[in-house]
């Protein structure tokens, strides 16, 4: 996966996607136990290309680096890289990138009656109710979160 053309907007760092090279890494057939250790299998299922795994629509995909703590409960930490697909139809419950009154944000999309609501995943932040007066645009659905452990 190769990122290019970094752009900073409203404190979010946007990175484009250019599928110019493959990055194939081994995909082991055995699963890794998160509890007690088990004997490792020496079998490799196939090579896994991260472009193939993370990007369904290359022409409609971009990356953005998250800043802040409002989505910590969704597993999104400050500094994480988000894979955003503009071609994926967002629905209630999806994590999205949205422009609200000219400011970009990452939140969980929901509905309250006939209105959209953008909800944080942290108790210190309030939901954003989208009204008829709100300048609102969905930029895309977050499909993957990449972060260091």
Yes or no: say if 64 and 85 are a contact pair by the CB < 8 Å rule: no
Nearest to 63 by CA among 20, 106, 92: 106
**Catalytic-role residue among 70, 78, 99, 148:** 70
Is 70 among the residues known to form the active site? yes
Buried b or exposed e, range 26-57, using 16+ CB within 10 angstroms: eeeeeeeeeeeeeeeeeeeeeeebebeebbee
Burial (CB count <10 Å: 0-12, 13-18, 19+), residue 22: exposed
Direct distance between the N- and C-terminal alpha carbons of the chain, in angstroms, rounded to an integer: 20
Nearest to 4 by CA among 136, 13, 33: 13
Is 107 among the residues known to form the active site? yes
**Catalytic-role residue among 20, 21, 107, 148:** 107
Catalytic residues: 70, 107
């Amino acid at each position: 996966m190769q990122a290019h053309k970094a752009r900073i907007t409203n404190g979010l760092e946007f990175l484009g996607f250019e599928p110019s090279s493959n990055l194939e890494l081994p995909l082991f057939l055995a699963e890794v136990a998160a509890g007690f250790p088990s004997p490792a299998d020496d079998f490799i299922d196939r090579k896994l290309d991260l472009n193939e795994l993370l990007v369904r629509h290359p022409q409609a995909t971009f990356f953005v680096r998250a800043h802040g703590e409002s989505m910590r409960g969704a597993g999104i930490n400050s500094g994480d890289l988000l894979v955003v697909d503009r071609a994926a139809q967002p629905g209630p419950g999806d994590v999205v990138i949205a422009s609200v009154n000219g400011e970009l944000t990452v939140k969980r999309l929901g509905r309250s009656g006939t209105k959209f609501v953008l909800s944080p995943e942290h108790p210190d932040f309030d939901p954003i109710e989208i009204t008829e007066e709100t300048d609102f645009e969905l930029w895309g659905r977050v499909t993957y979160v990449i972060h260091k452990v």
